[in-house]
Amino acid sequence: MIRRLGSGAMASVFLAEDCELGRMVAIKRLHPESPAEIAPRFRREMRVAASLSHPNVVTLFDAIADDESVLLVMEYVDGPTLARRMAERPLDPETALGIVRSLADAIDYLHAQGVIHRDVKPANVLLDATGRVKLTDLGIASAAEATGITTSGSVLGTPAYMAPELFEGDRATGAADVYSVAAIAYEMFSGRRAREGGTPAAIALRANDPPPDLREHRPEASALAAALARGLARDPAERPGSATALAEELEAAIAADREGDAATEVMTAPESSAADAALPIPSCVLSNR
């Protein structure tokens, strides 16, 4: 181990060196509240996760389990999380849209492999030195569920970004990940979370509230507001069919809002100087020359 990178309620992350292969790795240690037998389901899902390869997904190299903990050995990404990036300064629309596109590519790749992430949030989106998006914590929700890391009756995920149906105990589907991507997009475009509250419990109580309206923060972005509302729809069937479809709707909406702004500027522009030059000059002005 070289140093601790961070810690949370479910795990601690350390930077380490793989001496055999001469590379830096991130080791996530999941800490259960009590020892539990590792379920075959966990081993199966970790094997699937380790077989995945995508430029926008952090690679899982290995998973080691014993009676006390689970160690996930992952690709190390030297860069901030999207959560930290958003806290530093606002994101311009093009940068935000680029992040959504990359995140959508990663999500749809996972879904094509039969994998649901279940905990897509800004803290799980890493940005490397070149700004490339890397989605991490793949399979951590499955690991928690399989090993009894969370307390009985708790909900796996982060309330601010969880789809409403998950609070009802429904099984996570691709539509839940699409909702999470829309929630991240809303936050990047508005500077506010799509679902807010003082505590996780307070946030959870608002799970069935109508989708927030981006126009409260950006009145000019009516098309973008509508596209985000579809992504944040309470009914999974009303959301775009894929994360890429959501990204495409957001891109088209941004273009539509820009065209609308340009048309408004033309309609409200003052008369041209050429027209002013054609007006007759009063004789009183001429006589004073």
Question: What is the rounded distance in angstroms from the CA atom of residue 83 to the CA atom of residue 124?
Answer: 8
3-state secondary structure of 64: strand
Closest CA to 141 of 110, 102, 182, 112: 110
Element (H, E) at 6: strand 3-7
Which tokens is 36 given? 């539990």
In contact, 184 and 82? CB cutoff 8 Å? yes
Bridge partners (DSSP) of residue 175 are none
Q: Catalogue the active-site residues.
A: 119
Which tokens is 160 given? 């601010």
Closest CA to 140 of 35, 13, 18, 243: 13
Question: What is the rounded distance in angstroms from the CA atom of residue 188 to the CA atom of residue 204?
Answer: 21
3-state secondary structure of 61: strand
